[in-house]
Amino acid sequence: MNAREVLATSYQALENAVAGVRDGQWDAATPCSEWTVTQVVQHAAADQLVWAGALGVGPGPAYDPFSPSGSIEGSPAELVKNAVEVGRAAWATVSDDTATVPTPLPHGELSTPVAMVMCALDAAVHAWDVAIATGQPSPIDDELGGHLLAAARQIVEPLRQWGAYAAVVEATGDPSATPVADELLRYLGRTPA
């Protein structure tokens, strides 16, 4: 998978996870301990608008991605679909030979493939949060997880100081037998089980 395929797969995972939420699950707790399913969906949609804005497309979200209200006007699936469409449009403006792109991260510009995969990371991990909170299967397999983990290891550590990611969750048992997707989730402060 190249970076564009990782992004496309992650976008699809987010859309599918949100579409799979049933009535009565929107206020359910998520692996993001402070947020409900609705708040994670709001945050995930806003993340994509922030990334698009960094690339010069769209006005960005109308709310703070880190203070989601827990109330969505209209359909959550439409909120995410629209954010993903803006994200796709933004990344479509970046050619494959563009060396670096601006990002919303404190790192500033990053190599295009790393930035694209970090954007994908936001979508995929929040797809996982929603899926797990609502009894859906994990949308992150080992192939996708491996690409996301490689980018995360380059970028995530300085972001922990701002609370963007929780501390690493240590593995129990033989770490060499750990699936890559689980390693990614633990690296991002989540408990895979």
CATH number for the domain that contains residue 125: 1.20.120.450
pTM value > 0.75: yes
On whether residue 103 sits in a domain, the answer given is: yes
On whether residue 129 sits in a domain, the answer given is: yes
pLDDT in the model for residue 176: 61
On whether residue 193 sits in a domain, the answer given is: no
Strand partners for 111 = 100
CA distance 159 to 192: 21
3-class SS at 36? Answer: strand
Nearest to residue 81, comparing CAs of 122, 44, 113? 44
On whether residue 92 sits in a domain, the answer given is: yes
3-state secondary structure 124-173: HHHHHHHHHHCCCCCCCCHHHHHHHHHHHHHHHHHHHCCCCCCCCCCCCC
On whether residue 31 sits in a domain, the answer given is: yes
On whether residue 171 sits in a domain, the answer given is: no
Which of the listed ranges 6-15, 62-71, 159-168 does the model predict with the highest average pLDDT? 6-15
Strand partners for 29 = 36
Strand partners for 100 = 111
pLDDT in the model for residue 186: 86
User: Number of structural domains, the chain?
Assistant: 1
9 is in which domain, residue-wise?
3-166
On whether residue 184 sits in a domain, the answer given is: no
Check residues 163 and 14 and name the one with the higher pLDDT: 14
Helix or strand holding residue 16 (H, E)? helix 3-19
pLDDT digits (tens, 9 = 90+) for 154-177: 877 766 666 666 766 787 766 665
Number of H helices, E strands in the chain: 6, 2
pLDDT in the model for residue 154: 84
Q: Who contacts 129 (Cβ-Cβ below 8 Å, separation ≥6)? A: 30, 31, 32, 40, 190
Amino acid of residue 167: A
Q: Who contacts 156 (Cβ-Cβ below 8 Å, separation ≥6)? A: 164, 165, 187, 188
Give me the chain's average pLDDT, please: 91
3-class SS at 191? Answer: coil
pLDDT digits (tens, 9 = 90+) for 104-138: 988 889 999 999 999 999 999 999 999 999 999 99
pLDDT at 141 over 90: yes
On whether residue 187 sits in a domain, the answer given is: no
pLDDT in the model for residue 162: 60
